[in-house]
Amino acid sequence: MKIKYRFLLVFVLVTVITAGVLVAAFSSYQTDVRDDVDTTLERDAQTAATVLDDRLDRQTQTVNVAAANPNLAAHSTDSQQAALQSVVDSSAFTGASVVDSDGEMQAIAGVDSEARESVVGQSFTDREYVQYALEGQTHISDPFEADTGNQIVVISAPIREDGEIVGSLNAALQLDETTLFVPFGDTSSAVGVTVDSDGTTLYSTAERFEESVSYNTTLSSTDWIVTTHYDAAAINDDIRQIAVLQLLVSVLLIGAISGFGIWIYQTDIRHTERLHRRIDNIEARTYDDDIEFSGATEWQAIGNALDRLSTTLARREQMLLVLNRFLRHNLRNELNVAVGYADEIRREAQTPAATQSADRVDAAIARVLSTADRVRLTEQLIDPTVLEGQSIDLMALLREQIDEATGEHSELSVTLDGPDSVRVQGGQTLGFAIGELLSNVAAHSKPTPVAQISVSTTADSLTLQIADNGPGMHPEEAAIITGNREITPLQHSSGLGLWLVNWIVRRHDGHLSIPDTENGTTVVITLPRSDEMDGL
């Protein structure tokens, strides 16, 4: 949500809450005796709700602890019936039952044998509290009238065995006999408490009031509503004077809040939006926008700093692109000339040594030209407008790159272990990165290069691991490529390929690491999985 909408929402909420407090305060000032009525009502309601929540939570914890008893999972056994009877005997519950995973009653306690025989084996799948428990949730049911005519509540919890839900423990709390509401009978003669559930009164001490001022709150553990009442007979004739005073306070307070909100919006919120747009422009390489910051000194300093940053980035990017293209163009031209001279030397060579030297020159030139071609990729990597966010099948991409690599390097052997299909956000450069790693294996693991590729997944990410049988990489060079060590004149990496692979992985919100291994080199790439469904 945009900050201005969040600000507007907060402003409206603050205004509504303020108005509500003022209205509540207006009601509370009906008599001198009621100066703190609203506060008392709210406090008592919250206290009552807290007491009920705590007591219901304790009962819920009792059911959860009891449900962990492994004997309750032994359906239709004496140990199950004994464990169930122990729940009733050691708690405030007047009855308890166990229903299996198919919803069939297996055991019941707190009733006589005749009642037990009549319900054991019956299906209770239509009971909401059973459904919740079999779905793995602890649940407090809505109050309902039992066959005895009493209001009861059932707390249910799943019974698990080896991590699987095998049934539901259902404990009944009889509200007419429970101690849940005992403290509420100690209130003063002017205060009453009512507890309702879905229009049904569970408890009340407010019937004696003809009219009352009330406050209600909802329990966090269930949808019961606790309402505290104050006898309206205590209200006197000072209401009109209080109304005038309340109206004046309301106008002043709402006006102050409105003025403060407008000032904050003008001085900060609008500048925050400008800052967001300016940062977006910098990320999009639009460095010459006309967004300005005025007002407070801090905002002007931020604007000036962003101007300097935009200028610096624009210059550095221009220098990088010019240098990149200039070097590639001039280097290729000069090397093409060198290739021609090498061919001429080879044609006119009189000795095998001269021919061999010309071949070495050709090979060196080919390596430099290959590096120049890969340098071209850096222009694509620094351009945020190049779209590479489509969902692709990584396993299909791996198989494609393996076919290309083994076709180009016949001596290369590659094994692939992983799922049939797993999708990531990727593009052309991701395929280049995989191909570059396979080419490295072929180049540095002579004479029989072997690459072992494995792919493992989690719910949100995947890990691609490529291990070879080569001589391995020096830990300091690996640390420089992965960013764990700074580049210095004495410590640097000589290869461009792994740099490009690391940049590509980071462009796809991934991570590259090169752990120390006893044999060969292992490259580990972690990438986020695509939101789209993986193929089967």
Q: What is the pLDDT of residues 134-187, one digit of tens each?
A: 999 999 988 888 766 778 889 999 999 988 999 999 998 888 766 677 666 555
How many angstroms separate the CA atoms of 139 and 136, rounded? 9
Mean pLDDT of 224-245: 73
Is 491 a residue whose pLDDT tops 60? no
Which of these, 182, 223, 225, 227, lies nearest to 209 by C-alpha position? 227
Q: What is the pLDDT of residues 505-525, one digit of tens each?
A: 888 888 999 888 888 889 999
CATH 3.30.460.80 fits 30-237, yes or no: no
Mean pLDDT of 465-494: 66
How many angstroms separate the CA atoms of 431 and 429, rounded? 5
Task: Identify the band that residue 329 occupies on the pLDDT scale cut at 50, 70 and 90.
Answer: low
Is 132 a residue whose pLDDT tops 80? yes
| The model's pTM | 0.43
Is 488 a residue whose pLDDT tops 60? no
Mean pLDDT of 387-398: 81
Mean pLDDT of 395-417: 91
Q: Between 264 and 382, where is the model more confident?
A: 264
Judge if 30-237 and 387-528 fold alike in CATH terms.
Answer: no
Angle separating helix axes 37-67 and 3-28, nearest 10 degrees:
120
Q: What pLDDT is recorded for position 146?
A: 74
Are the C-beta atoms of residues 63 and 138 closer than 8 Å to each other? yes
Q: What is the pLDDT of residues 12-41, one digit of tens each?
A: 888 888 888 777 776 666 555 566 777 888
Q: Between 108 and 446, where is the model more confident?
A: 108
Q: What pLDDT is recorded for position 41?
A: 84
Is 87 a residue whose pLDDT tops 70? yes
Annotate 383-399 with b (16+ C-beta within 10 A) or e (fewer).
eeeeebeeebbbbebbe
Q: What pLDDT is recorded for position 158?
A: 95
The full set of domain ranges for the chain reads 30-237, 297-380, 387-528
Q: How many other C-beta atoms are found inside a 10 Å radius of the C-beta of residue 50?
A: 14
Q: What pLDDT is recorded for position 1?
A: 62
Is 202 a residue whose pLDDT tops 70? yes
Is 386 a residue whose pLDDT tops 60? no
Mean pLDDT of 253-274: 78
Task: Identify the band that residue 453 occupies on the pLDDT scale cut at 50, 70 and 90.
Answer: very high
**Considering the chain, what percentage of its residues have pLDDT values greater than 70?**
82
- Strands 461-468, 522-528: pairing is antiparallel
**Token pair for 444:** 């540095």
**Token pair for 499:** 């740099």
**Considering the chain, what percentage of its residues have pLDDT values greater than 90?**
22
The mean predicted confidence, pLDDT, of the chain is: 80
Architecture of domain 387-528: 2-Layer Sandwich (3.30)
Task: Identify the band that residue 376 occupies on the pLDDT scale cut at 50, 70 and 90.
Answer: low
The DSSP result for 229-259, as a single string, is EEEGGG--TTHHHHHHHHHHHHHHHHHHHHH
Is 485 a residue whose pLDDT tops 60? no
How many angstroms separate the CA atoms of 483 and 471, rounded? 22
94 in helix, strand or coil? coil
End-to-end CA distance of the chain: 36
Which residues fall within 8 angstroms of residue 418, CB to CB, at 6 or more apart?
A: 395, 398, 453, 454, 455, 456
Q: What is the pLDDT of residues 309-326, one digit of tens each?
A: 877 877 776 666 666 666
Burial (0-12, 13-18, 19+ Cβ within 10 Å), 326: exposed
Torsion of CA 284, 288, 290, 296, to 10 degrees: 80
Task: Identify the band that residue 493 occupies on the pLDDT scale cut at 50, 70 and 90.
Answer: very low
How many angstroms separate the CA atoms of 135 and 63, rounded? 16
Q: How many contiguous H segments (helices) and E segments (strands) does the chain have? A: 14, 17
Q: What pLDDT is recorded for position 527?
A: 92
Is 284 a residue whose pLDDT tops 80? no
